[in-house]
Amino acid sequence: MTEAVIFDLDGTLLNTCDDLGAALNHTLSLHGFAQVAKERYSPAISNGVKALLEVGFGTELEKLDQALLRQQVLDHYAQNIAVHSHCFDGVNALLEGLESKGISVAIMTNKPTFLTLPLLTKIPELAHIQVIVCGDTLDEAKPSPKPLLHAAAQLKVDARNCVYVGDAERDIQAACAAEMRSVTALWGYIPSKSIALSWGADLNLTNPEALLKHI
């Protein structure tokens, strides 16, 4: 019995690709590097700032001050956090469908609190979600199951009655470790469909609304 659905944020509920890509390209321009096209940076987004820097700077990254570069990306992103970001098509219908079924909803993201909370204030469709667990809420982040178990506890729901939806391998690993049903968001920032299917999620869905048929 499904009592709650917990969602990853970037690449699952929200399409934040253009804002994060803009932060990367801004940093690249500061250091005289060429801009990176969307098709190159988008698969890296769910893996954090370091993965973005690796895409942008390539083999030159190890020669540079990575802490500085990371901060420059984060600063630009924080100042322009929701210029282009929006919910993926079908997310609002999914959330409304879950509410109509009496199923609780939460967000568990590895994004840090100082970015997550300001971003969510800019997205009206997500404003009603009360339980939000970030990458720095606890002492461990995904793929550790701890944040997911914490989210379930906040919802007052047994973890085994939860579904976790995400678009990265660590999302599926965390769900499995937490004994939650796992769903890969194939509409997100997956490296490729074949790779995503190899993660072994319980469900692999191509659009958000499809989840309602499996609840």
What token pair was written down for 145?
């199951």
79 close to 39: Cβ distance less than 8 angstroms: no
**Angle of CA points 171, 39, 6, to nearest 5°:** 20
Q: Are strands 4-7 and 162-166 parallel, antiparallel or unpaired?
A: parallel
Answer yes or no: 158 catalytic. no
21 close to 42: Cβ distance less than 8 angstroms: yes
Give the DSSP per-residue string, 31-92. Answer: TTPPP--HHHHGGGGGG-HHHHHHHHHGGGGGGS-HHHHHHHHHHHHHHTTTSS-EEPTTHH
125 close to 95: Cβ distance less than 8 angstroms: yes
Q: Which of 8, 10, 19, 171 is catalytic?
A: 8
Catalytic residue list = 8
